[in-house]
Amino acid sequence: MRASLSLMANSRYVAYLDDDNVWRSNHLSELLSVVHDKAWAFAQRMLVDQETGAELVVDRWDSLGPGEGRFAAQGGFVDPNCLLLDKVICARFLSRWSETGSSQAGVTADRHFFAAIRDLPHGCVAKPTVLYGIRSTSIFHHFMKHDVKF
């Protein structure tokens, strides 16, 4: 669905928002300010308690960009909710969101897509403009409690 809707969007730039995320009011403008002549841009995200809405900590484990965080050995990762794509430059990779071959289709597809774009020129918003709601059972609570570093 993401690949098809990206191509159908009436804009050169596309961004994504799932139901467990919220964008700050400056999210899109910040991304547009750093994407100049680049294939994509990303912003940091704030982990938020899903029940209370309390901001917990800036994500320092998963959505950190190329070669960083928990997925550094696989080339890093950026959550789609933190991305802005130039769909003209990235068009040839959009189908990767529908190529999974795994029971964890969403997660695998997101990483499969990111692997295709990670080495393209990109920009970074070095502040959290995405709020990611996490449940009490999320692995991020363990990471925070034990100050896990990767």
* CA-closest candidate to residue 143, choices 45, 74, 59, 20: 59
Terminal-to-terminal C-alpha distance of the chain: 32
pLDDT at residue 105, rounded to an integer: 46
Q: Return the sign of the alpha-carbon dihedral for residues 31, 134, 60, 99.
A: negative
Bridge partners for 15 per DSSP: 84
pLDDT at residue 33, rounded to an integer: 98
Q: Can you give the pTM of this predicted structure? A: 0.92
pLDDT at residue 102, rounded to an integer: 55
Bridge partners for 128 per DSSP: 44
Query: What is residue 67's DSSP assignment?
Result: T
Is the CATH number of domain 2-145 3.30.300.180? no
From first to last of the 150 residues of the chain, give the pLDDT tens digit.
889 999 999 999 999 999 999 999 999 999 999 999 999 999 999 999 999 999 999 999 999 999 999 999 999 999 999 999 999 999 999 999 888 645 544 458 899 999 999 999 999 999 999 999 999 999 999 999 999 998
pLDDT at residue 99, rounded to an integer: 80
pLDDT, tens digit, 9 for 90 and up, residues 68-85: 999 999 999 999 999 999
Cα diameter, the chain:
45
pLDDT at residue 109, rounded to an integer: 87
> Rounded CA gap, 30 and 90, in Å?
20
pLDDT at residue 107, rounded to an integer: 59
- Domain regions of the chain by residue span: 2-145
